[in-house]
Amino acid sequence: MSAVTGPPAELAERRDELTPMLQQYVDRCAEHDDALVLFRVGDFYKTFCGIAEEVARLCELTLIEREDSTGTYAAAGIPVDNAAEYIERLLDAGHRVAVADQVEDPSEASGIVERAVTQIITPGTVVDDELLSPDSTYVAAVVGADADTGDAPAYAVASVDVSTGECRVAPAADRAGAREEVARVGPAELISGPGTPEVDPDCPVTDWDDDAFAVDAARATLAEYADPDRFAAVEARAVGGLLAYAEYTQGDDGSLEYVSRVRRYDPADCLRLDAAALRSLELFENRAGGDREGDTLFETVNETVCALGRRRLASWLRRPLVDRAAIEGRLDAVGELSTRTLLREELRDELRAAYDLERLVSRVSRERANARDLRSVARTLSIVPNLKAALADAESDRLGRLRDDLDELRETRELIERAIAADPPQEITEGGVIADGFDEELDEVRSTEREGRAWVADLEQQERERTGIDNLEVGHNQVHGYYIEVTDSHLDSVPDEYRRRQTLKNSERFVTPELRRREDEILGAAERADALEYDVFREVRAEVAEAADRLQGVADDLADLDALLSLSTVAVGPDFCRPTFHDGDEALEIEAGRHPVVARAQAEFVPNDADLPAGGVALITGPNMSGKSTYMRQVGLIAVLAQAGGFVPARSASLPVLDRVFTRVGASDDIAGGQSTFMREMSELTDILHDATEDSLVLLDEVGRGTSTADGLAIARAATEFLHDEVGARTLFATHYHDLTALADEREGVFNLHFTAIRDGDDVTFLHRVDDGPSSSSYGVEVARMAGVPDSVVERSRELVEATDGHERAPAASTAPAATDGAGTADGESEAASDSSTPPGQQTLPGTEPEGAAADGADALAAELRELDLARTTPLEALNRLQELQDRVTDR
Ligand SMILES: Nc1ncnc2c1ncn2[C@@H]1O[C@H](COP(=O)(O)OP(=O)(O)OP(=O)(O)O)[C@@H](O)[C@H]1O
């Protein structure tokens, strides 16, 4: 119960004195004390007291005083007709919403109409179309095994999309694995009970009844959807507890019949991307936290034409394949579609007409579908024969299978087309829903109604002729029904059987016994027709619901086809190629690769090659903004896209099947996210060092930068050595620690790459081209010079850097097992062997004493100099900073 939810105190304490309506409100609030209760009164959802204040504040509604015999209360009302828009605001503010609807027909109620909560709307369980984005919306639960029983697996992560019925559960070996799976699912809401571990999700967490996660209760819930014996205890608890929650949120509807399959899956069966990788590769969100069109890999390659395909493509990118045959299967289909332009466009045109069949079917099963929804089901089914025909000569296995599997569901479609009116209204209780000719009884009743109306329509003319009153009129109003109106000047001509009904200013209104009889007949028939239509509609809907599984099968196939078409549409773009895969012992080779997102926005994008042998570690140096991160991400994205079954932006790509892509983006790059602490950096590094395998791709960007230079360098070096010596993962490591480049001479398989910039007068041009070998270490000072720093200061900086270079290699080398000859420095100069007497982290500066306080000062100075981020420093700042440093050196 939050501060504002639960029964308002001023009402609850005197419940018995309240009006019956407010008593009901208090009761519903008490039953749902964790949600804001919206209480249906007429055309509004009303709220009272504290809840009203909160709702009025968040929805910018007027707070009114409601007065009755028992007192005055604050009240606010949300109009039922556009409730969705307001409910969305309440959800965004972190609330849950319980909708209490009238569950009795007001005309039949004795006393106050009974209201019950029919739906609880939470961020992860919305089913209302108006509140749903086209993307998947999951609610998830994580459960840990009971430590005493030593059950395996240790954790399970369950997720369900209540709007489509997609439900899955995955085992996880440890909490990190569970956390990673939650990140991959990306739920809108996470359910937690006392036994559930903390996994820091990026979404609201809802406390949920602990009992639901107890193994017996959970198995009992699960038994309604799947055979509980297929699941380990911890999996059954996670998915059973979660489904119980989903049922609870759907109020009266109870069991979610359309959850027809609960799938178990193993996260290791896909290319694993943890939260850090999803974020830094910008798969679904750019690092600024948005998903602006074109800013993410997903938006860049999303050419789907229907919601089904959009969600499918997202799930393929979130979980790329690791099974080579399955990858090749998708690539074959993408390849075929990419070369057959006409077929591709024909299929896409057909799919544009597809509605969101998954969600429609779930609405049909939940008895929430209206007549328009059924028409949309039929419309979607009507494209199936065309798709099958278009795919008749498809050659690839995958497309052939799709063609053969696609189920036309002819009977279901015909049933809907025969039964439902062509353009039915939104409401299913007000008639006009069922087509003529479908139900005999309905047809009869309708014809009675039609005849009656025709008789009335003719009456005016007939009576004018019979009575000779030429301005006699037949009309209708709500109160008196049909009447015959005669102006006062003609009252003499009114026949005897006319009965007076109403006197107006200049006229009188009459009825006749026959008109009354006809009226009753019309009204009776209309009412009967509405009731009949409703019954017939429900029967038709129930019959369609019987085919729910088959319809979901069609939805599945349409989703696959749209996703394949999307990948093939991207594949025909300039310079995309089909990747090839090898067993993993060969190099990851990319020729003229491009970053799919950056290259799309940048016409002048410079393609780059990559050649990373098994176990190879590439150390990438180069000035800020030269393209290091882009290059590394581009390798990662090409791998992800390829394993999702897509063509890749390169001239050629020969790839291993990766098991995971790890990324660690250094502090400076993450600052925008506001969450870059050194601690976080290290814990992500720990995960990588623990979990990477020789089939993994590791992308490290400026690791160690969040701490002092010496520590950072030591950590970066040790981590690189570990990855190379112990793990054997393919690694790309972008670093500003120039000293790290010496590792290339010590370890086979470690090599240097660099990015350069060239100077032309005052202009710096970044080539964005990757080249072999390390970059020049004196680049920072060059930038300072270009920025206009005075010559004397630049000269002094150069001296300091050279001196530092000469000595700083000592600590780095001293951590390596083998002594080094110090060759292969930045400038290509050979340096003397390191001074092994210099302690780690200490440098000697020319013109200063090598010992004591002065040496410490020089150390600090050198460290500060190296940490200067020149690409992000304005000339003025640089000048001031150098002045400050110079002052310090001169004072000494
Ligand atoms: N291959 C390329 N062709 C054209 N432009 C590129 C290329 N690679 C990167 N760029 C451009 O250069 C900018 C900087 O690239 P990137 O962030 O990769 O540099 P960086 O070397 O990692 O910088 P830092 O060290 O500051 O993190 C990018 O935003 C992009 O616009």
- Average pLDDT of every residue of the chain: 82
Taking residues 841-851, what's their average pLDDT?
33
CA distance 339 to 347: 14
- When pLDDT is cut at 50, 70 and 90, the band that residue 567 belongs to is very high
- When pLDDT is cut at 50, 70 and 90, the band that residue 790 belongs to is confident
pLDDT digits (tens, 9 = 90+) for 265-281: 888 889 998 888 888 89
Domains observed in the chain: 9-121 (3.40.1170.10), 139-269 (3.30.420.110), 302-409+547-571 (1.10.1420.10), 440-541 (1.10.1420.10), 576-775 (3.40.50.300)
Q: For residue 225, report the distance from its CA to the centre of ligand 1, in Å.
A: 51
Is the predicted pLDDT of residue 311 greater than 60, yes or no? Answer: yes
Residues 353 and 308: beta-carbon distance below 8 Å: no
Q: Which atom of ligand 1 is nearest to the CA of 608?
A: 1
Is the predicted pLDDT of residue 674 greater than 50, yes or no? Answer: no
Token duo for residue 608: 């780059």
Residues 273 and 186: beta-carbon distance below 8 Å: no
Q: For residue 847, report the distance from its CA to the centre of ligand 1, in Å.
A: 38
CA atoms within 13 A on the CB side of 73: 24
pLDDT digits (tens, 9 = 90+) for 773-788: 887 755 667 667 766 7
- When pLDDT is cut at 50, 70 and 90, the band that residue 616 belongs to is very high
| Nearest Cα residue to atom 24 of ligand 1 | 624
Taking residues 731-746, what's their average pLDDT?
87
CA–chain centroid gap for 571, Å, is 24
Q: For residue 626, report the distance from its CA to the centre of ligand 1, in Å.
A: 5
For residue 173, what are the contacts with CB-CB under 8 A and spacing of at least 6?
153, 154, 155
Angle at 438 between CA 522 and CA 433, to 5 degrees: 60
pLDDT at 96: 86
Cβ(340) – ligand 1 distance below 6 Å = no
pLDDT at 542: 93
596: exposed, middle or buried (Cβ count in 10 Å: 0-12, 13-18, 19+) = buried
Cβ(598) – ligand 1 distance below 6 Å = yes
Token duo for residue 817: 């097992």
Pairing of strands 97-102, 36-41: parallel
**Is 632 annotated as belonging to a binding site?**
no
Q: For residue 867, report the distance from its CA to the centre of ligand 1, in Å.
A: 20
Of residues 285, 278, 395, the one with CA closest to residue 339? 395
pLDDT at 208: 78
pLDDT at 288: 63
Residues 217 and 233: beta-carbon distance below 8 Å: no
Is the predicted pLDDT of residue 371 greater than 80, yes or no? Answer: yes
Provide, rounded to the nearest whole percent, the portion of the chain with pLDDT above 90. 33
Taking residues 496-522, what's their average pLDDT?
90
Cβ(70) – ligand 1 distance below 6 Å = no
Residues 145 and 151: beta-carbon distance below 8 Å: yes
What DSSP state is assigned to residue 646? -
- When pLDDT is cut at 50, 70 and 90, the band that residue 846 belongs to is very low
pLDDT at 714: 83
Which range, 58-62, 350-354, 441-445, 821-825, is most confident? Answer: 350-354
Instruction: Kindly list the distances between the CA atom of residue 741 and the CA atoms of 53, 570, 629, 771, 882, in Å, as whole numbers in the listed order.
Output: 63, 38, 17, 14, 27
CA distance 528 to 534: 10
Is the predicted pLDDT of residue 187 greater than 60, yes or no? Answer: yes
Is the predicted pLDDT of residue 701 greater than 90, yes or no? Answer: no
**Is 629 annotated as belonging to a binding site?**
yes
Own/partner contacts of 383-388, CB < 8 Å, gap of 24 or more, are: 383/350, 383/351, 383/353, 383/354, 384/408, 384/409, 384/554, 386/350, 387/347, 387/350, 387/351, 387/558, 387/561
| Nearest Cα residue to atom 16 of ligand 1 | 627
**Is 388 annotated as belonging to a binding site?**
no
Instruction: Kindly list the distances between the CA atom of residue 64 and the CA atoms of 14, 48, 55, 89, 109, in Å, as whole numbers in the listed order.
Output: 21, 9, 12, 20, 28
ipTM beyond cut 0.85? yes
Per the DSSP assignment, residues forming a β-bridge with 510 are 484, 500
Q: For residue 625, report the distance from its CA to the centre of ligand 1, in Å.
A: 5
Name the residue with higher pLDDT: 453 or 429: 453
Residues 97 and 233: beta-carbon distance below 8 Å: no
Name the residue with higher pLDDT: 670 or 185: 185
722: exposed, middle or buried (Cβ count in 10 Å: 0-12, 13-18, 19+) = middle
Lowest-confidence region among 101-110, 230-239, 458-467, 835-844? 835-844
**Is 624 annotated as belonging to a binding site?**
yes
Is the predicted pLDDT of residue 1 greater than 70, yes or no? Answer: no
Cβ(768) – ligand 1 distance below 6 Å = yes
Cβ(628) – ligand 1 distance below 6 Å = yes
Residues 366 and 260: beta-carbon distance below 8 Å: no
Name the residue with higher pLDDT: 150 or 94: 94
Is the predicted pLDDT of residue 293 greater than 70, yes or no? Answer: no
Provide, rounded to the nearest whole percent, the portion of the chain with pLDDT above 70. 84
| Nearest Cα residue to atom 4 of ligand 1 | 605
Taking residues 197-201, what's their average pLDDT?
72
Taking residues 482-488, what's their average pLDDT?
92
Determine the 3-state secondary structure of 401 from DSSP. Answer: helix
Q: For residue 410, report the distance from its CA to the centre of ligand 1, in Å.
A: 55
Q: Which atom of ligand 1 is nearest to the CA of 869?
A: 26
Q: For residue 605, report the distance from its CA to the centre of ligand 1, in Å.
A: 10
CA distance 218 to 171: 16
Is the predicted pLDDT of residue 691 greater than 80, yes or no? Answer: yes
Which range, 516-525, 526-535, 564-573, 865-874, is most confident? Answer: 564-573
Is the predicted pLDDT of residue 394 greater than 90, yes or no? Answer: yes
CA distance 846 to 835: 15
| Nearest Cα residue to atom 23 of ligand 1 | 625
Is the predicted pLDDT of residue 483 greater than 90, yes or no? Answer: yes
Name the residue with higher pLDDT: 854 or 602: 602
Instruction: Kindly list the distances between the CA atom of residue 756 and the CA atoms of 440, 617, 765, 767, 788, in Å, as whole numbers in the listed order.
Output: 82, 20, 9, 6, 20
pLDDT at 808: 44
Token duo for residue 616: 């190879």
Of residues 419, 675, 447, the one with CA closest to residue 540? 419
pLDDT at 847: 33
Is the predicted pLDDT of residue 353 greater than 80, yes or no? Answer: yes
**Is 8 annotated as belonging to a binding site?**
no
pLDDT digits (tens, 9 = 90+) for 832-842: 333 333 333 33
Cβ(649) – ligand 1 distance below 6 Å = no
Instruction: Kindly list the distances between the CA atom of residue 303 and the CA atoms of 436, 465, 643, in Å, as whole numbers in the listed order.
Output: 41, 69, 18
Is the predicted pLDDT of residue 610 greater than 80, yes or no? Answer: yes
pLDDT at 761: 60
Of residues 108, 498, 558, the one with CA closest to residue 348? 558
**Is 841 annotated as belonging to a binding site?**
no
